[in-house]
């Protein structure tokens, strides 16, 4: 859908709600393959939780690097392992 909209000149953005690191990083992977420049996506919402199952990658100058590890590339939070 995003590819077809982009080809038609329709701006496309991807956003989420309050997502844990897992959901947010899945969105990061999706945004990374979308056509053209993307607008601010509002994907860094896991910071609003007191704790999280994963570690969200740092944001540098408004850019989130796509994790490259196995699966979604999410390191498991030490806090989650301790619980």
pLDDT band at 76 (very low <50, low <70, confident <90, very high): confident
- The pLDDT tens digits of the residues spanning 33-59 come to 877 666 677 777 777 888 888 888 888
What angle (nearest 5°) sits at the alpha carbon of residue 54, between those of residues 74 and 36? 50
Q: Write down the pLDDT at residue 83.
A: 55
* 11-15, 34-38, 72-76: least confidently modelled range: 34-38
Element containing residue 31 per DSSP (H, E): helix 21-32
pLDDT value at 82 more than 70:
no
The answer to whether the beta carbons of residues 52 and 21 sit under 8 Å apart is: yes
d(CA 25, CA 56): 7
Pick the more confident residue, 39 or 3: 3
CB 81 within 8 A of CB 59: no
């Amino acid at each position: 859908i995003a590819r077809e909209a982009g080809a038609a000149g329709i701006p496309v953005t991807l956003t989420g709600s309050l997502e844990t690191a897992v959901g947010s990083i899945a969105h990061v992977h999706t945004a990374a393959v979308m056509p053209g420049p993307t607008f601010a996506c509002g994907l860094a919402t896991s910071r609003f939780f007191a704790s999280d199952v994963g570690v969200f990658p740092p944001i540098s100058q408004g850019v989130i690097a796509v994790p490259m590890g196995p699966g979604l590339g999410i390191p498991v939070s030490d806090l989650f392992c301790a619980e």
